[in-house]
Chain A
Amino acid sequence: MRAIGFLDEIPLGEGRTFAVDGEMVAVFRLRDGSVRATQAVCPHKGGPLADGQIDLKQVLCPLHLNAWDLTTGCSLSGQPDLAVYDVHIDNDKILLGELS
């Protein structure tokens, strides 16, 4: 686990991208207060997933509205799955773990 940023960098219900060791990770702050982290680039056509709309379950890529489960990374619209990361909040710090 390593700190990659602060929770207040991410508005409630939105996502932001963090660069971590040459990888781009999209971190989403759900409206129930929890966070999720996935690969930042859409596997379909390279769209920026952090710009997508989310709810408690899924993220929609802003380019073609493909959907993925935020927790498992599983595609909900027939695309390849997303890589998802362990992520936690500790005192307003975003702690990123390994790929899960």
Chain B
Amino acid sequence: MRTRLVVIGNGMAGARTVEEILARGGDFDITMFGDEPYGNYNRIMLSNVLAGVEDESGIFLNDLSWYADNGITLHTGTRIERIDRFAKRVYAEDGTETPYDKLIIATGSRAFVPPIPGIHRPGRGYHQGVFAFRTLDDTRSMIRYAKEHQRAVVIGGGLLGLEAARGLQNHLPHVTLVHAAGHLMNAQLNEVAGETLKSSIESRLGIEVVVNGQTTEILGKHAVTGVKLGDGRVIPCDVVVVAAGIRANAEMAAASGLPVGRGIVVDDQMRCQDEDDIYAVGECAQHRGEVYGLVAPLWDQAKVLADHLTGVNPFAEYHGSQVATKLKVAGVDVAAMGLKGPERDDDESLTFTEPRKGIYKNVIIRDGRLVGATMVGDVKKVAFLMQAFDRGLALPEERAELMFDLGGPAGEVKVEEMADDEQVCNCNGVSKGAICSTVQSGCKTVTGVMDKTRAGKGCGTCKPLVQRIVEWAAGGEVEEDPAASYYVPGIPMPKPELMNAIRVHSLKSVSAVFATLGGEEDAKSKMGLASLLKMMWGGEYVDERDARFINDRVHANIQRDGTFSVVPQMKGGVTTPAQLRRIAEVAEKHGVPMVKLTGGQRIDLLGVPKEKLPQVWADLDMPSGYAYGKSFRTVKTCVGSDFCRFGVGDSTALGIALEERYQGIEGPGKMKLAVTGCPRNCAEAYVKDLGVVAIDGGKWEIYVGGAAGAHVRKGDLLTTVGTAEEVITLTGRFLQYYRENANWLERTYAFVPRIGIERVREIVVDDADGIAAELDAAMAASVAAYRDPWKDRDDPATPGQFRTSLPLTVLPQVPVRA
């Protein structure tokens, strides 16, 4: 016999749980009992029905045929009076009894009607003209009555009361809202936000709002004529709507012997206390002391219960919901999540108010995480805030970005308003439509979509937009990609764990790492692992050439036609006539299609076929400039104090010294440096991975984490020192810290803000962790292991190292400039 599942309650929680069970292929004999005489409808939409923007028929979720199609026995208009937990039966009001194997209680809640004198008529229910606002029937009667009357008072200034007030305006001319607390929506909003909402409601909608208003009596003999407040004021009216909150429908459960507090007490599997087969979900349930009155927690609970009951995951657990809401309250946008105001001394609280526009914004940050946010009148940033709140994301260093879109057109794009053919990734030409169809085909992780479409895989600036589109297209069902935290996709470990495993197992080659830690080798992970192993083991690293990217195999940067660019070292951007003459001769001899000055103050010979590389290097007889690797690139300098009349420090000499010491050091990303002789910054030191600025008094400022590529960022001042020697030491120490701790391809502009400049300073400058000597020693070892790779030319590392890969194509195909 199939397991008999009985569900008491045919509201949103009961029906959703059954849907989730069916979606998991749950095989039960299901019987549902609904108190109301209808199928299942969306109670949230009753406000719209009242406001006349939604038709009654539009709010039904499952019509009766759905129950029949899924073999569910539905008893509408049938209230369950009692559960016999021992006989495992439920008894209905009409005397029928139904046996169960598993029982779900989803009785929801009802309107809370305070005991105000005059609200009821003895023996006749509510006083004529008094309505609660909870069910479809309530809504229908309210509309019918309101149409024939003039003035309404709504008691309760929470969400429901505001919606009721707004809705009633469609049916009668005067609406007053009376709220007992000091400000509107006091459960979700702080006082200032509540005040802002109040003025918007009053000025824009013409609803009169009374706060601190205790309703002491409902007046009127036969029908309502007014309400009396605690201060003696009387507000004349002929309709009263009570929206003073809800109470869980838990009496039947309590009477049947189940533990009940404010709701039916359940554990993390939504199971009633001390019961094996009875569960409760939705507004009637009390989980870890919380009773939720919003829909999102209910969806979470339904999923957990369905996972558990169907055996898809018998150990599924519900851990409570972070309640974040975004609503249009009576026509005003309101979003609220977490704390309403700062609670600890060191909570960061940022507030912006613009009363004339009815705008209030507040965010609360604790330990770098968003713990609360309130937005009234302008909720443009709420999607990001909700994500940050739910997932504990790192927050922008520029805190104002939490409240406003600061520059950057990407931030202002509304995903839902973008056309399908709009290009999202400008590097790889991927449209919004392409991203959406990839999501629809079942790929629901951001990294998965990026892999499949290559969106966001160019310069990376569009990644946040790609993420938002994936989230939008997946309708909130984005799956977390655990691989996002891995150092490389093929080994399931973050960097510290990976480095530890590499040390413990003494893994000195990329293939050994795969064999020991990863299972299958992964092409996309090889380059990152090669870089890491080289950094960790130095001379002991077992170099497998296939682990290298082509640029690192042939020490040159591959171009669009398969030729390469050759950039000889030119320390500090300083050259000599002899060097220039030699470069010119080589360029002519080999017919180099283009000779170009680089942004890093060097000379680039572009369009050299692979097989010619060794000869070009031999003819140049200069060291490699490393313009191809994830490595230390160049130190840009200005002419400094030797020549410049403004220069206050010898930037050229220091730049040369830095490049001489740290040339060719590999890392998780490129390292571009600069030294500039005065704060005029001609060498652009403020926007380098590490930039040094001479300041008056013989001192040097060191900036780290700058960038001026796809991402533009001014570096953070690490420290100011008195000598060039200190600059050289701290540069090595910072770069080593970056090498050991940054994720693969994470440039310093992301790394430094992630760690925080204060922390970087503690470690690198103040040696608070006592690791400075280790960092210096590790860097010194890497420096000592340096060998100019262009010396490889006479002794190829592998057979055919410089053999062309396009033998029948005439190269170069890049344009030749004479």
Does A38 interact with chain B (Cβ within 8 Å)? no
A53 touches which one: B453, B549, B799, B800 (CB < 8 A)? B549
Of B434, B523, B527, B547, most buried by chain A (CB within 10 Å of CB) is B523
What is the 8 Å Cβ interface bit string for chain B, positions 505-535, against chain A (1 contact, 0 not)? Answer: 0000001000000001111101100000000
Given contacts A51-B562, A53-B526, A77-B451, contact A11 B546 (CB under 8 A): yes
Does A84 interact with chain B (Cβ within 8 Å)? no
Of B428, B524, B553, B806, most buried by chain A (CB within 10 Å of CB) is B806
Q: How many A-B residue pairs have CB under 8 A?
A: 112
Contacts of A56 in B (CB 8 A): 520-521
Contacts of A12 in B (CB 8 A): 544, 546
A17 touches which one: B520, B549, B561, B806 (CB < 8 A)? B806
Contacts of B558 in A (CB 8 A): 51, 62-63
A11 touches which one: B452, B527, B545, B805 (CB < 8 A)? B545
Contacts of B810 in A (CB 8 A): none
What is the 8 Å Cβ interface bit string for chain A, positions 64-83, against chain B (1 contact, 0 not)? Answer: 11110000000011100000
| B805 near A50: Cβ-Cβ < 8 Å | yes
Given contacts A40-B805, A62-B549, contact A55 B523 (CB under 8 A): yes
Given contacts A14-B798, A54-B523, contact A65 B808 (CB under 8 A): no
Does B803 interact with chain A (Cβ within 8 Å)? yes
| A22 near B808: Cβ-Cβ < 8 Å | yes
Given contacts A31-B511, A60-B524, contact A53 B546 (CB under 8 A): yes
B296 to chain A, nearest CB (A): 35
What is the 8 Å Cβ interface bit string for chain B, positions 423-456, against chain A (1 contact, 0 not)? Answer: 0000010000010000000000000000111100
Complex Cα gap A76–B807 (Å): 26
Given contacts A16-B805, A41-B806, contact A77 B550 (CB under 8 A): no
Given contacts A14-B798, A24-B806, A77-B451, contact A48 B562 (CB under 8 A): yes
Chain B residue nearest to A24 in the complex (CB) = B808
| B561 near A46: Cβ-Cβ < 8 Å | yes
Contacts of A45 in B (CB 8 A): 560
A93 to chain B, nearest CB (A): 15
Does B804 interact with chain A (Cβ within 8 Å)? yes
Given contacts A8-B799, A19-B807, A49-B805, contact A60 B523 (CB under 8 A): yes
A62 touches which one: B520, B550, B800, B808 (CB < 8 A)? B550
- CB-CB contacts below 8 Å: A4-42 with B: 8-19, 22-24, 26, 31, 40-41
B546 to chain A, nearest CB (A): 3
| A55 near B521: Cβ-Cβ < 8 Å | yes
B805 touches which one: A23, A26, A53, A58 (CB < 8 A)? A26
Complex Cα gap A63–B561 (Å): 9
Does B457 interact with chain A (Cβ within 8 Å)? yes
Complex Cα gap A1–B804 (Å): 24
Of A16, A49, A52, A54, most buried by chain B (CB within 10 Å of CB) is A16
Closest 9 CB pairs of A and B: A13-B546, A48-B805, A11-B798, A50-B805, A51-B550, A55-B523, A48-B562, A55-B521, A62-B550
Q: Which of A's residues lie within 8 Å of B, judged by CB?
A: 8-19, 22-24, 26, 31, 40-41, 45-60, 62-67, 76-78
Return 27 A-B CB contacts under 8 Å, by A number: A9-B800, A11-B545, A13-B545, A14-B545, A14-B546, A17-B803, A17-B807, A19-B807, A22-B808, A24-B807, A26-B805, A46-B561, A51-B550, A51-B558, A52-B523, A55-B520, A55-B522, A56-B520, A56-B521, A58-B523, A60-B523, A64-B454, A66-B454, A76-B451, A76-B452, A77-B452, A78-B454
